[in-house]
């Protein structure tokens, strides 16, 4: 089941390796990489693990978590096809965060040594990775303000929009592609599951969303935007929630 696909046969066109490494280095990394499959709920890495390399998400959905008091999880970031999780470590550094598959997920792992050689020989690859982290940093800084300043209602509306932007929704019925538990939505919004449930019920009675079991349908995306709009004057853009590698500089 876990045959290693060669990069030349890979269908993921968002992969930084494919996009920014020389053909020669694509071959080298293709031979060096370790393709891994994770089932829903499995850890890709845990807080405290030694860092051995980088993970490139080829397919699937991942939550990046930081665990606090009483094992309360905070989901600090979501990742999907084309994203990078983990980071090159140094010394005996360990991950301060963990990564868990939200559905069946495939990643390519490259260890510290080979990735360092790839960086040294493929400047555009390194630049692309640098801009990825820089971009994620800016997004996280905006989220930092949102967590500090938004009301619960606003945080939950913001979370639904975040889920739509990163994982997408079915344009026919408006159903979100990712189905998270109420607790997981709370772990993104920074509140409790009860508050999420209450607010989702309010949104439903306001015809902003509909519930189909655990699955959520966004009936009125503009209405959700209006709830958070005052916090994003002049600068809110879907770009803050999505990756568009084609926007990266190619000059």
Partner DNA sequence: GTAAATTCCTGCGAAAACTCAGATTCTGTC
Partner DNA sequence: GACAGAATCTGAGTTTTCGCAGGAATTTAC
- Binding residues for DNA (CB under 7 A): 151-153, 181-183, 190-195, 197-198, 200-201, 211, 213-215
The stretch near a second copy (CB under 8 A) out of 3-11, 113-121, 193-201, 215-223 is: 113-121
Q: Using CB under 8 A, which of 10, 15, 17, 64 touches a second copy?
A: 64
Contacted by 251, from a second copy, DNA, none: CB < 5 to 8 Å by type? a second copy
Contacted by 119, from DNA, a second copy, none: CB < 5 to 8 Å by type? a second copy
Q: What are the backbone dihedrals phi and psi of residue 13, each rounded to the nearest 5 degrees, phi first?
A: -85, -5
Q: Using CB under 8 A, which of 44, 78, 108, 129 touches a second copy?
A: 129
Tell me how far, at minimum, the Cβ of 215 lies from a second copy, in Å: 25
Cα angle 14, 9, 45 (rounded to 5 degrees) comes to 55
Count of C-beta atoms within a 10 Å radius of residue 29 = 23
Count of C-beta atoms within a 10 Å radius of residue 244 = 11
Query: Residue 200 corresponds to which tokens in the numbers above?
Result: 């989702």
Contacted by 217, from DNA, a second copy, none: CB < 5 to 8 Å by type? none
For residues 74 and 66, is the Cβ–Cβ distance under 8 A? yes
Tell me how far, at minimum, the Cβ of 167 lies from DNA, in Å: 16
Of 36-55, which residues contact a second copy (CB under 8 A)? 47-48
Q: How many angstroms separate the Cα of 205 from the Cα of each of 67, 199, 208? A: 33, 10, 8
Q: Which residue shows structure tokens 């390796």? A: 17
User: Could you tell me which of 185, 184, 139 has the C-alpha nearest to residue 160?
Assistant: 185
For residues 87 and 76, is the Cβ–Cβ distance under 8 A? no
- For a second copy, the binding residues (CB under 8 A) are 47-48, 64, 66, 68-69, 72, 74, 76-77, 87-88, 90-91, 94, 96-97, 116, 119-121, 123-124, 126-127, 129-131, 133-134, 136-138, 140-149, 190-191, 230-231, 234-235, 240, 247-249, 251
């Amino acid at each position: 089941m876990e045959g290693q696909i060669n990069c030349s046969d890979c269908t993921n066109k968002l992969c930084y390796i494919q996009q920014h490494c020389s053909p020669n280095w694509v071959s080298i990394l293709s031979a060096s990489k370790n393709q891994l499959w994770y089932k829903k709920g499995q850890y890709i890495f845990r807080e405290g693990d030694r860092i051995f390399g980088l993970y490139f998400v080829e397919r699937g959905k991942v939550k990046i978590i930081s665990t606090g008091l009483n094992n309360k999880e905070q989901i600090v970031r979501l990742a999907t096809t084309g994203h990078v999780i983990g980071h090159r470590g140094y010394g005996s550094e360990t991950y301060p965060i963990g990564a868990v598959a939200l559905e069946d997920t495939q990643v390519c792992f490259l260890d510290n040594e080979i990735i360092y050689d790839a960086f040294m020989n493929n400047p555009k690859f390194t630049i692309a990775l640098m801009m990825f982290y820089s971009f994620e940093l800016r997004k996280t800084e905006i989220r930092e303000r949102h967590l500090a300043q938004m009301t619960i209602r606003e945080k939950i509306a913001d979370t639904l929009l975040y889920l739509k932007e990163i994982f997408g929704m079915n344009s026919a019925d408006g159903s979100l592609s990712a189905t998270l538990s109420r607790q997981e939505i709370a772990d993104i919004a920074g509140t409790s599951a009860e508050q999420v449930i209450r607010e989702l019920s309010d949104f439903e009675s306001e015809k902003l969303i509909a519930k189909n079991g655990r699955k959520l349908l966004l009936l009125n995306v503009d209405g959700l935007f209006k709830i958070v709009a005052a916090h994003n004057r002049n600068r809110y853009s879907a770009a803050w929630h999505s990756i568009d590698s084609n926007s990266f500089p190619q000059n």
